[in-house]
Amino acid sequence: MEIVPFSPELKNVFVELNKAWISAMFKIEPADIEEFSLIEQAIEKGSQIFFALDDNKNVLACCMIRPCENNEWEILKFAAKGMSTGTGAGSACFKACVEYAKQKNADKIIIVSNKKLSQALHIYKKFGFTEVPVDKEKFPFERGDIAFELVLNSKRNMTKSEKISVYETVLPQIESLVSGVEYGISSLANIAAVLHRNLGCFWTGFYVVDGDNLLLGPFQGDAACIKIPKGKGVCGTSWQKGETIVVEDVEQFPGHIACSSLSKSEIVVPVFSATGKITAVLDIDSDCLATFDDTDKLYLEKVVEVLKCYESFV
Ligand code: SME
């Protein structure tokens, strides 16, 4: 199976696949006819349609994504041959749409669907979409009786003053969580949890210094690489230089270690002990470009100051 973007020769099959499922279960509405007549224009304005092709180049499924207001994108016209191919073709097209919106730095993806479309609803949930009320003004389709959204990154919506307000709230929480705690690892774990919940990034955690390496410490998010030598990656470089590193685009950072393909930008802050030794680094990863700036640097450096009472974490 292969996933390909829109090309004019695929237009008819897109229309036919969609007409087939709509008329099998509902009725074709005027808004559908309008959408089918404006496909090329929609593509020109930034929409995309992904098609799953079998080995003989037959279209198995298709799915469209289009930009809306406020950096929201909508997934629509999701159709599979015979409603379901059982080959994962629908999921694969859907995934291509989600990836496309992420590449475009969308804040949110929205979908309006129908409760009868159980296989499609299953796919939305599998990709982490959550149910929200249907906005009938925005979505005039009669068959629209259930809606979903996927918030891609809440932090990048934050203005400078919102960021400051988040940090001003979490800083005293973190100070009190760490105060009097002897076992440093527990403090790292609690700080990772509080920052992760409040900043909304996809990975928040610590690497602790052990000899010439950083070892994976407490974190929130997906499984990550275990050992980073001094001077390697963003973490090892921050440790070597003894300074915070803000990376706006990880692809532009030579030697960046990609623990997740979602990673787009990153901040790494060294943790100093009272005697001035670096004992760990705090690493936060975002799935959007340029999430972190001087405000994050300023506050995260204050956050890690609460860890100076620990001389080592290993
Ligand atoms: N990106 C880091 C590695 C750690 S993971 O992203 C969690 C680096 O380049 O050092």
Residue 10 lies in a domain: yes
Last residue of some domain: 92, 122, 152? Answer: 152
Query: 278 and 244 in one domain?
Result: yes
List the pLDDT tens digit at each of the 314 positions of the chain.
999 999 999 999 999 999 999 999 999 999 999 999 999 999 999 999 999 999 999 999 999 999 998 889 999 999 999 888 888 999 999 999 999 998 887 889 999 999 999 989 999 988 888 899 998 887 878 999 999 998 876 555 678 888 999 999 999 999 999 999 999 999 999 999 999 988 988 899 999 999 999 999 999 988 999 999 999 999 999 999 999 999 999 999 999 999 887 788 999 999 999 999 999 999 999 988 889 999 999 999 999 999 999 999 99
256 CA → ligand 1 middle, Å: 7
Query: 207 and 120 in one domain?
Result: no
Q: Residue 195 belongs to a domain with what CATH number?
A: 3.30.450.40
Query: 218 and 170 in one domain?
Result: yes
183 CA → ligand 1 middle, Å: 25
The DSSP code sequence of 152-203 is --SGGG--HHHHHHHHHHHHHHHHHHHTT---HHHHHHHHHHHHHHHH--SE
Query: 229 and 180 in one domain?
Result: yes
Query: 165 and 43 in one domain?
Result: no
Residue nearest to atom 1 of ligand 1 (CA): 257
Query: 229 and 200 in one domain?
Result: yes
Q: Residue 106 belongs to a domain with what CATH number?
A: 3.40.630.30
Structure tokens at 81: 């041959």
Query: Measuring from each residue's beta carbon to the nearest atom of ligand 1, which residues come in under 6 Å?
Result: 203, 224-225, 228, 233-235, 256-257, 259, 263, 266, 283, 285
Residue 166 lies in a domain: yes
Query: 224 and 120 in one domain?
Result: no
Boundaries of domain holding 259: 156-305
The preferred substitution site among 234, 247, 248 for testing ligand 1, maximizing ligand atoms within 8 Å of CB, is 234
314 CA → ligand 1 middle, Å: 20
Residue 312 lies in a domain: no
End-to-end Cα spacing for the chain: 48
Ranges of beta strands (E only) in the chain are 2-5, 48-53, 59-67, 72-80, 108-113, 130-132, 146-151, 203-210, 213-221, 227-229, 245-247, 265-272, 278-286
Last residue of some domain: 124, 152, 180? Answer: 152
- Which pTM was predicted? 0.59
Residue 282 lies in a domain: yes
Last residue of some domain: 96, 130, 152? Answer: 152
